[in-house]
A and B are shown apart, each in its own frame.
Chain A
């Protein structure tokens, strides 16, 4: 009997979806907009994170060593820094590499190159470029390096200078921007999700309000709670499926149209080709799953709760 009842509930919900065409259409329209808003949150969240990462990658600090520092000491310090949990990556530039880069950079500036040749030895310093996992961690790393300045060759410290202290203000500002962006995005997400859930719930509640007399009759004829609720829950799930499909279809032209314009901080980015459409295509399965899961869950739970109001006859 369980399977017979399940089959009947599914069939009844399916038929009711089509017979109440206008109500279904209204519910689907509202749910599609809701799901579109939820999907847009995914996009904006992902693009913001992508942009913030891009910003984070622009920030690093450089440690310049005195010209007399031994390469082995510098490499030892590189290994020490790499052992720090805050440090993501450390790049070493030797004196020779620094010279080569300088020459490349000034290849059209003969005067500078001649001046360089006049010198007996390479005047450029070896350096370490350090990138932290979070921008807020640079200060800690800089303080650690201050302590390391004690390392010395013939009582002279091997660290010449750390450029964090010159760039501190800019790095702090950037850290603030990143933190605020993440926090405001989270708040916007929570707010929009709450509003979306309430709108969908109210729409389905109104749709089922029209059927309250029908629910009462079903109960008086002797139907059990689940047999009454079941078809409404199935119909709610179908609203979710159709709305999710509509939202996914809508994403395509919208992401294509707005794609490049929506890339924040694009003036900083070397990856301007990453846009909404590219993100949509590459994360389609995740977006597909999330949109359908949210749509079906919203439809089912809203219907279940709405029918529950009228079922105690």
Chain B
């Protein structure tokens, strides 16, 4: 489904953010990418979302090189990916309902579908009663759950979660991980980056370890080892 082919990213001062990264992801996998801060986890996800271009190598989604896609096809690709960020990245002037609805609007869904699916998605993350709240009226855990609802509402093929528990307390962390597991069990591929040992160890799924931009381990049933 996803294939990183010899991807390197070098920034201006000749430092490698990623160096000759090769790995593939199969459909319905749950992969965790771990590493210290600055190891290159977020750069790797930026390559996958085509937020940044690799200096060398290619990233394929199915058979398409993501960085060669024209703008219209790039937008279409992004609609097939749900993204969850450490800092939530909700639209501050929109309510929880509108944030989730926005993802459906850009996917070209009808008003009727939006009206029926958004409450359902918010119900899945247990936020039905706060759907008309603005992000600044929600706690960190609640914001992240809105972000998850936004990511899953279009039933994407892939969920990318970039340190989604980084700003959360243990209880909210547990909740978010459980939701991600549930999403994966329903058939969606999940790519998670984290440096939370407890999360990785509780998952018992494939773990890729990155250090100084290089993949140093790739274990099918990994634990957090650095």
Contact = CB atoms under 8 A, between A and B. Distances in A.
Interface stretch (A43-51, A185-193, A198-206, A216-224): A216-224
Of A16, A218, A219, A221, chain B has the most CB atoms within 10 Å of the CB of: A221
Contacts of B150: 221
A221 B83 contact: yes
B93 A1 contact: no
A310 to B, nearest CB: 13
A222 B91 contact: no
Contacts of A222: 75-76, 78-79, 81, 103, 106-107
A273 interface: no
Contacts of A213: 89
A19 interface: yes
B103 A19 contact: no
A71 interface: no
Given A4-B111, A313-B51, A223 B106 contact: yes
A73 interface: no
B137 to A, nearest CB: 13
Contact of A223 (B75, B110, B111): B75
A224 B73 CA distance: 10
A20 B71 contact: no
Contacts of B16: none
B52 to A, nearest CB: 10
Of A218, A219, A222, A223, chain B has the most CB atoms within 10 Å of the CB of: A222
Given A19-B93, A214-B93, A221 B106 contact: yes
Of B51, B105, B110, chain A has the most CB atoms within 10 Å of the CB of: B105
Nearest to B91: A214
Interface in A219-248: 219-225, 227
A225 B71 contact: yes
Interface in B167-190: none
Interface in B56-106: 71-72, 75-76, 78-79, 81, 83, 89-93, 102-103, 105-106
Interface residues of A, number: 22
B152 to A, nearest CB: 13
B125 interface: no
B131 to A, nearest CB: 16
A217 B89 contact: yes
Interface string B97-123: 000001101111011000000000000
Contacts of B89: 213, 216-217, 220
Contacts of A106: none
B105 A8 contact: yes
Contacts of A19: 93
A227 B89 CA distance: 18
A220 B78 contact: yes
Contacts of A16: 93
A258 B134 CA distance: 48
Given A4-B111, A222-B106, A20 B93 contact: yes
Contacts of B78: 219-222
Nearest to A18: B93
A298 to B, nearest CB: 23
Contacts of A219: 78
A68 B2 CA distance: 110
Contacts of B49: 220
A219 B75 CA distance: 8
Interface string A52-84: 000000000000000000000000000000000
Nearest to B103: A221
A8 B102 CA distance: 10
A220 to B, nearest CB: 6
B117 to A, nearest CB: 15
Kindly list the 10 A-B residue pairs having the minimum CB-CB distance in the complex, ordered from nearest: A222-B78, A222-B79, A223-B106, A217-B89, A19-B93, A222-B106, A224-B75, A221-B103, A222-B75, A214-B91
26 contacts: A5-B105, A8-B105, A19-B93, A214-B91, A214-B92, A217-B89, A217-B91, A218-B91, A218-B102, A218-B106, A219-B78, A220-B49, A220-B83, A221-B83, A221-B102, A221-B106, A222-B75, A222-B78, A222-B79, A222-B106, A222-B107, A223-B102, A223-B106, A224-B71, A224-B72, A224-B106
Interface of A: 1, 4-5, 8, 15-16, 19-20, 213-214, 216-225, 227, 313
